[in-house]
Amino acid sequence: MAKRPEWLDSAVFYEIYPQSFKDTDGDGIGNINGITEKLPYIKELGCTAIWMNPCFDSPFGDAGYDVSDYCKVAPRYGTNDDLVHLFDEAHRLGMHVLLDLVPGHTSWEHPWFKESMKAERNEYTDRYVWTDSIWERPEGYGSLRGISERDGSCAVNFFTHQPALNYGWYKPSRPWQQAMDSEGATATREAMKDVMRFWLSRGCDGFRVDMAGSLVKNDEDGKGTIALWQNVRAFLDEEFPEAAMVSEWGEPRQSLAGGFHMDFLLHFGESHYNDLFRCGKPFFGGKGDASAFVAKYIDSYERSQRRGLICIPSGNHDMDRLARHIKGDARKLAFAFLLSMPGAPYIYYGDEIGMNYVEGLRSVEGGYGRTGSRSPMQWDSSANAGFSSAPAEKLYIPIDPDPARPTAKAQMKDADSLRSEVKKLIGVRQAHKALQSLGEIEFVCDGAPGKPLAYIRSSGDERILVIVNPTDNTADITVNGTPGETVYSFGGAPVISGNSVRINGGSAAFVKI
């Protein structure tokens, strides 16, 4: 098993979209020093680590997921020294920082790609996935064609301006398809290790890895990509054994085998994540159905040898804000679930105060429908919600215009606010190992319509029954064991009789058994 940093086991993450968090130089866009300034706010909430979206040089056609220099902080965010200062400050506060590694593609403005487009063979000719004729496209992938002097089409991974880096094909079947151990594919992998080395040696604690499962092409069951990441993990074990690796993969049985410590539950594919938070009738809205989610979760859990390392985010920069679909106190129940599940929880900036999806915005930097979830953090009731001193029209994305928009400052003063509940829940998680990342989970009730979600978390001798009941119905959960101390409740205390626990509709309880 991969070496792992101990801090990861109890980590609660806070995701920061740097553009929108805090602007300290008045240009209307967030920056690194703004994040550093707000670390105490994140620590006060109880989070112990942050994941920052890409902050590197980029033409920002996809908000920085189109990198043009992996080793340089984009000037609009500050300097490399500012980022190193952020690492130092975080460490001083006992916190850790994951950067966002985008190994699958670059911007078409990256110097590697410019060299790779040249007809003349050079060091970067094989850095990307090219066919050997403009008339042939890489089947199964989008492609860039007709912009190079070189005769060929280049595969793209996401938007058209994001050419795919070459890590080889699992089973090459065309002359231009390179093997995983070819010189070109090996050079790409080593170049990515250099990027990791660059930041890890400057104090970064690890990476969230973008589209980690899609590097080797035509690799249906992930075997090639798993082998690639095992190779990277061996390098980390050797040079940076404390580096934490969290994948955007959505298949823990593959990503954990590749040496990742944790994987994300994705909001697309088969996870049924959206059944809980974002659909016509989300489970946490009270009228939905969590059973398909639970069935898929158990399947993933069993297939990854009961390693509960699937990180469930409250949201992220790619999906609708939680608050768009779940209203009022039901959000507290959603957090009771998020903060009592295995794997490290991720809180998307502003979700802790119930920030809303801002409707009707024009797309910014390739955000499209995602733009409404990327609006500036609402710190207080001063101009621009305390985000920036720039004129409102110069802000990266407009502030939520709702006069009743929530603010961090007001919620910190209000013991009944969402933020206060989230803070309380993080504290309960941190006080009980069973509730943390590595504790086991066994479901007792699968949240079928009208029913709560209930599960037992355990670690050593500690066993905690978690019941989250967003429905209108009172629920009785019977367990094998003796319910005792209630370590958390919301919406009324649970009533214990014998081996059964009764809780109201619209409530949650964590009870030792």
Per the DSSP assignment, residues forming a β-bridge with 100 are 208
Q: Does 102 bind ligand NOJ (CB under 6 A)?
A: yes
Q: Does 421 bind ligand NOJ (CB under 6 A)?
A: no
Q: Does 211 bind ligand NOJ (CB under 6 A)?
A: yes
Q: How far is the CB of 388 from ligand NOJ (least distance, A)?
A: 23
Q: What sign has the CA pseudo-torsion 274, 277, 280, 281?
A: positive
Q: What sign has the CA pseudo-torsion 436, 422, 446, 300?
A: negative
Pairing mode of beta strands 13-16, 310-311: unpaired
Q: How far is the CB of 248 from ligand NOJ (least distance, A)?
A: 6
For residues 194 and 488, what is the distance between their CA atoms, to the nearest angstrom?
46
With respect to ligand NOJ, which residue has the nearer C-beta, 158 or 297? 158
List 15, 23, 205, 210, residue binding ligand NOJ (CB under 6 A): 210
Q: Does 65 bind ligand NOJ (CB under 6 A)?
A: yes
CB 346 within 8 A of CB 380: no
With respect to ligand NOJ, which residue has the nearer C-beta, 23 or 248? 248
Nearest to 355 by CA among 282, 406, 422: 406
Q: How far is the CB of 98 from ligand NOJ (least distance, A)?
A: 13
Nearest to 294 by CA among 262, 265, 264, 263: 265
With respect to ligand NOJ, which residue has the nearer C-beta, 210 or 352? 210
List 57, 275, 318, 351, residue binding ligand NOJ (CB under 6 A): 318
Q: Does 275 bind ligand NOJ (CB under 6 A)?
A: no
**CA 414 vs CA 43, 356, 406: distances in Å:** 18, 19, 12
Nearest to 345 by CA among 65, 8, 36, 5: 8
Q: Does 266 bind ligand NOJ (CB under 6 A)?
A: no
Nearest to 105 by CA among 209, 228, 229, 247: 209
With respect to ligand NOJ, which residue has the nearer C-beta, 47 or 67? 67
With respect to ligand NOJ, which residue has the nearer C-beta, 228 or 333? 228
With respect to ligand NOJ, which residue has the nearer C-beta, 210 or 320? 210
Q: Does 38 bind ligand NOJ (CB under 6 A)?
A: no
For residues 436 and 440, what is the distance between their CA atoms, to the nearest angstrom?
9
Q: Does 158 bind ligand NOJ (CB under 6 A)?
A: yes
With respect to ligand NOJ, which residue has the nearer C-beta, 210 or 351? 210
* Count of residues that interact with ligand NOJ, criterion CB under 6 A: 8
Residues that bind ligand NOJ (CB under 6 A): 62, 65, 102, 158, 210-211, 317-318
